[in-house]
Amino acid sequence: MKNREIAEMFDEIAAMLSIDDTKTSRFEVRAYQAAALNIAGMQEDVAAIYRRGGVAALMEIPSVGKGIAGHIEEYLKTGHIKKYDMLKKKYPINFTELMKIEGIGAKKCVTLYRMLGVRDVAGLRKAVSGHKVRDLEGFGEKSEEALAKSLAMADSTGGRMLLGDVLPEAEAMVAELSRSGLVYKAIIAGSTRRMRETVGDLDILVLADDGPKVMDFFEKMEGVERALVKGPTKTTVQLRLGLTCDLRVISPDSFGAAMQYFTGSKAHNIAVRKIAIAKGYKLNEYGLFGRNGKLIVSRDEPEIYGKLGMQWMPPEMREDRGEIKLAQEHRVPELVELKDLKGDLHTHTKETDGQNTLDEMADAAIKAGLQYIATTNHTKSLKVARGMDEKAFAEYFKRVDALNDKYEGRLTILKGAEVDILKDGSLDLNTKTMKGMDCAVGAVHSAFNMPEKEMTSRVIKAIESGLIHVLAHPTGRIINVREPYQIDLDRVAEAAAGSNVMLEINSFPNRLDLNDTNIMAASKHKVMFSIDSDAHNITHYANLRYGVGTARRAWLGKARIANTLPLEKLNRQLKR
């Protein structure tokens, strides 16, 4: 897929244009940022869209006008965008890489480049370790310390990438292999199949007659940079995405065993193999074998588990966290599925930091198969997101009412806000405005460095106010960028259960907050969860599948997910 490459180039163009900060540049910056956000969130390859209908088809992508569509066409044809190349001559900086470090924006990138020659993260690391950053205007000693912490966190990720970046690429590769006519079946395995929040490498398994021919095709696929190791049944390539990918050609007689083995996790597989050994069997990627070496079963995953006295387990559960005992007792729960979601309780529009109008977000929700959404724009304290005050919400809700009348039940829009939980635990809007909302989402957006006791008290005070319905992204983390703030989630979950406040499973790929381990711990309390997109444009509803995957990793069924309820029952859940 070209989406990620193009989105990153548009983000860099926006960053470089923002440095001049003129009326014209501000307009262009917003245009490129909006296009980048929409393209990055799309599940369909822009190259496929262009092949289908040219520039006209590209202009149907939200926020892509004629000029930006022309840039996309130029890149697809030549591998270059002249505007990008021209700006990069002026600013030879890796903005994409540097701006992933918390506390670094476009203008700071330029300051670091002009004053210290920093072009990338490696250069920033050298400057920070040499204590050269603290003396620059706009930085200081505390900024330098914060950068050192952010860089250490980036180092600790081990090159793992977000599931939301990897899964669409993996699916595109499987689709390309399937269209080739060379394979009968292709599946994604490994941590991607288990829906882990980050991925270290890709595993793809295929059924095929001619392994060498498949490997020749694979090596030349669009997303492949170069082959690292090539053989007739296994090839490892470096992807342009930044990861390696193993492709294995599996025989039909071994496909089920290979799926089980290469899905993992390692700890799960070790535990299953021990059970096989205890029963006198041998289990490997080729099948389940008896004492005499005779093959017992290998074609089908459920049969392999069945022969070992276990119920089949969804891949997301396979982390050796108690799922094997459940499978032996035939008590594997029925997990929530994407199709179970009937609504989304956390969305944004252009009034604050969203990219689309309320009408556009509503129409997209209908296309996504949702029956209701809560519109939850930011509140006045979050100035960076152009947060709204009480008067602005009153006017906005009139439009919500009018749009609900227009949809006549095809979609219901709930009035809400993502209201800031202030440092003292109070809320960022007055009680009258809050009480007029159908679904208010509370969130911490500031003072992340509070001690655990104070942060916990702050959040519990908001929960017990009787004014919020959902606690959004409850730990505040951003994967690979920002650590969670210190908070006692056990006490928070207990308070939420007592106050009928849902804990959010935020589906945005760089959040996935709560994560699976936190959900498992919180679910010991009688608290309900909501799986929300935190959509900032119409493509972000597609992110709901990552929240569902996280919930499945935590063994949740739909009975614990409030937005699987039809609207009538949800409204009873929301009542105070």
Tens digits of per-residue pLDDT, 460-471? 999 999 999 999
Q: How many CB atoms lie within 10 A of CB 204?
A: 21
Do 531 and 341 touch, CB atoms closer than 8 A?
yes
Do 187 and 204 touch, CB atoms closer than 8 A?
yes
Every domain range in the chain assigned CATH 1.10.150.110: 3-156
> Tens digit of pLDDT for each residue in 86-130?
999 999 999 988 988 888 888 999 999 999 999 999 999 999 999
Residue 481 has pLDDT above 90, yes or no: no
CATH number of the domain located at residue range(s) 338-574 in this protein: 3.20.20.140
The helix (H) or strand (E) run that includes residue 126 is helix 121-129
> Tens digit of pLDDT for each residue in 45-95?
899 899 999 999 999 888 899 999 999 999 999 999 999 999 999 999 999
Q: Determine the Cα–Cα distance for residues 28 and 23; give it in Å rounded to an integer.
A: 9
Helix/strand/coil percent split, the chain, to 5:
50, 15, 35
CATH number of the domain located at residue range(s) 161-250 in this protein: 3.30.460.10
What HEC string does 100-116 produce? CCCCCCHHHHHHHHHHH
Cis ω before 514 (30° cut-off from 0): yes
Q: Which amino acid, one-letter code, is at 281? A: Y
Q: Work out the average pLDDT over 249-256.
A: 93
Transcribe 372-425 into DSSP letters. Answer: EEEEEEEBTT-GGGT-B-HHHHHHHHHHHHHHHHHHTTSSEEEEEEEEEB-TTS
Angle 176-181-185 (CA atoms, 0-180°, nearest 5)?
A: 70
pLDDT value at residue 576: 66
Every domain range in the chain assigned CATH 3.30.210.10: 265-328
Phi, psi dihedral angles at 442 (to 5 degrees): -100, 145
Do 423 and 451 touch, CB atoms closer than 8 A?
no
Q: How many CB atoms lie within 10 A of CB 402?
A: 10
Do 84 and 7 touch, CB atoms closer than 8 A?
no
Cis ω before 265 (30° cut-off from 0): yes
Q: How many CB atoms lie within 10 A of CB 43?
A: 14
Every domain range in the chain assigned CATH 3.30.460.10: 161-250
Q: How many CA atoms lie within 13 A of 65 on its CB side?
A: 7
> Tens digit of pLDDT for each residue in 356-384?
999 999 999 999 999 999 999 999 999 88
pLDDT value at residue 197: 97
pLDDT value at residue 152: 84
> Tens digit of pLDDT for each residue in 276-294?
999 999 999 999 999 888 9
Give the CA dihedral 296, 298, 302, 303, nearest 10 degrees.
Answer: -20
Strands, sheet with 244-250, edge to edge from the N-terminal-most edge strand: 183-188, 202-208, 244-250, 234-239, 224-230
Q: Which CATH superfamily is domain 3-156 in?
A: DNA polymerase beta, N-terminal domain-like (1.10.150.110)
Q: Which amino acid, one-letter code, is at 130? A: G
pLDDT value at residue 287: 95
Structure-block tokens of residue 143 = 């900024």
Q: Determine the Cα–Cα distance for residues 200 and 266; give it in Å rounded to an integer.
A: 14
Residues forming a β-bridge with 204: 188, 247
Greatest extent of the chain over all pairs of C-alpha atoms, in Å: 79
Alpha-carbon distances, residue 518 vs 25, 220, 445, 513 (angstroms): 43, 42, 20, 9
Residue 385 banded pLDDT, cuts 50, 70, 90: confident
Residue 311 banded pLDDT, cuts 50, 70, 90: very high
Q: How many CB atoms lie within 10 A of CB 367?
A: 10
CATH number of the domain located at residue range(s) 265-328 in this protein: 3.30.210.10
> Tens digit of pLDDT for each residue in 130-168?
999 999 988 999 899 989 988 887 776 667 899 999 999
Coil vs helix vs strand at 506: strand
Mean pLDDT of the residues in the chain: 94
